[in-house]
Structure 1
Amino acid sequence: MGAEYGRRSGGQGRISQWLRARRPKEAEGDGGREALLLAAAAAGLPLAPAAYPSDYRCSCSRIGCPTPGRHPVSFAWQTQSTTDRAQIQRWAEHQPLANFITATGMVHDVLDVPLDAGREALERLLAAGIDVGPVADSGGDRMLFFTATRGTPEDEDEWWPCELDCHPETMDEHPGLRWHCRGSYVLVPPARLPGERSVDWVRGLEHPLPDPLTLLEVLTDSCARFAGDEQAAAWPSRG
């Protein structure tokens, strides 16, 4: 799947149908789950076990967990994260219900946007012939664009920690966008969420990781436009 699809696309409805159709059938069952996890590790994504949904609650012992099924099991997830095939197989076999997170900022970053904005941005990027890497649908409300990490660029004094990306003072510049880099993580497909939701690949790991800056302008523009549409709907003008 590449830019040619974008040029032939019939619009938002077509891309939405395509996204739904791209849910990988090989992820069904434990064997497919393990294969996808090992493929992620082989692509260089460091993995660690995460919580999983238990009914509408989280498998962790925290009462009222604010992110059920979305967080690592261990507080040491940054040092625990690995691409070691044997270790990931042991985790998958001994924790068959567990989700997995991938630690960002080592090999890859993730640009995390609202689903509708992500769908529009993906269509525009493909139509423009821009190389897009792996993309995941996260729970039906966010879209994750996997990119190469910026790491610690030599021409910058500091790396950009993820927690700064969501602060209110940055939202005018990057409305709706979360940039997961060093010190952050996202769920890696396949993952289950409460309410029979899931995290699934839209574009798989066979696509090389692009430079995040090649996607950033289109993603921020789509986020800004959808944020503007939502504000207009919430505060209709009065005649």
Structure 2
Amino acid sequence: MDRTDRIGKRARVAGWLRRVQREEPDTGADRRAGQLLDAVSLGWPVCPAAHPLEYGCSCDRVGCPSPGMHPVSFAWQTQATTDTAQVTRWLERDPDANFVTATGIAHDVLDVPAEAGELALAALGDEVGPVAACGPDRYLFFTATRGTPVDEDEWWPCELDCHPETLDEHPGLRWHCRGSYVLLPPSRHPSGSSVRWIRGPETPLPDPLRVLDVLTDACDTVGAVAADTRWLMGM
């Protein structure tokens, strides 16, 4: 790249950043970048993820089981960063990329079926923190993290519970803490919808145990209703 090209690239990036900072994005790409940088500015570590491509995934894996919902790199835990300059380079290199945020560092995420999420939103009221809809079927409740407790025996890494790509094995409540990640708005979901904020990331992060109590009750309620429905249909 010659000097003229480098100067031109720096000018384009500077203009893009000025638009984001003024909150006056003029393209869809700018709006997506602005949402991502909002999360990064809060100290949430992010890294690039694959994105849905036609009927599959942009990764090279044949028959990818979680198209568009996993990091690009196997080294995502060390790659995740809050460095705005690095995130900008990723955006420039691949504007179509989804992004994930690593959990158990700045926040945890409680991930539940959408029906339970709706009940929990009503029950928590002003106590709820940031919440995102991840496709048509899941809600993500962002909370303060318990990823590094004083007593390491008190808590567990996410590997002992689930990974994001194992949704079929863990369809109920999932706790994303150390060693896990979730898609971050405005990533594209394989269903064709976008991951979107219901309550934005600027909302203070609540205590995870309080949110866990409410979500557990909501999941139990949804499960009981589903069981009753199956019983009635079997009559």
Structure 2's unaligned 5+ residue stretches are 1-24, 164-169
Cα distance in 2 for residues equivalent to 1:103 and 1:147: 13
Cα distance in 2 for partners of 1:141, 1:176 equals 11
Which of 210, 218, 232 is matched with 2:228 structurally? 232
The residue aligned with 2:75 is: 76
Q: 1:154 aligns with which of 150, 154, 158?
A: 150
Q: 1:138 to 1:68 in 2, by over 3 A?
A: same
1:67 alignment partner, SS class: coil
Cα contact 2:104–2:148 (8 A) shared by 1:
no
In the alignment, which residue of structure 2 is the partner of 1:213? Answer: 209
Partner residue, 2:184: 188
Q: Deviations over 1:167-189 (max 9, x none)?
A: 9xxxxxx9811000000000000
Note the 1:10-159 alignment, pairs <5 A: 29-126=28-125, 129=126, 131-155=127-151, 157-159=153-155
Give the length in aligned residue pairs: 206
- How far apart are residue 213 of structure 1 and its match? 0.9
The percentage of aligned residue pairs carrying the same residue is: 62
Alpha-carbon distance, 1:206 to partner: 1.4
* Preserved contact between residue 186 and residue 196 of structure 2 (Cα < 8 Å): yes
TM-score normalised by length of structure 1: 0.80
- Compared CA separation, residues 166 and 52, structure 1 to 2 (3 A): closer
Could you say what the CA RMSD is over the residues aligned between the two structures, in angstroms? 2.2
Cα deviation digits, residues 139-172 of structure 1 (max 9, x gap):
01000000111022224524321133359xxxxx
Three-state SS of the structure 1 residue aligned to 2:141 is strand
Tell me, in whole angstroms, the C-alpha distance in 2 between the residues paired with 1:102 and 1:53.
18
Q: Give the whole-Å Cα distance in 2 for the aligned partners of 1:192 and 1:27.
A: 20
Structure possessing the higher radius of gyration over alpha carbons: 2
TM-score (norm 2): 0.81
Unaligned runs of 5+ in 1: 1-25, 168-173
Q: Secondary structure at the match of 1:36?
A: helix
Q: Which has the higher contact order (CA 8 A, sep 6+)?
A: 1
Deviation at 1:195, TM superposition (A): 3.7
Please report how far the alpha carbon of residue 238 of structure 1 lies from its aligned counterpart in structure 2 after TM superposition. 6.5
Partners of 1:149 and 1:212 within 8 A in 2: yes
In structure 2, the CA distance between the partners of 1:227 and 1:96, relative to structure 1 (3 Å rule), is: same
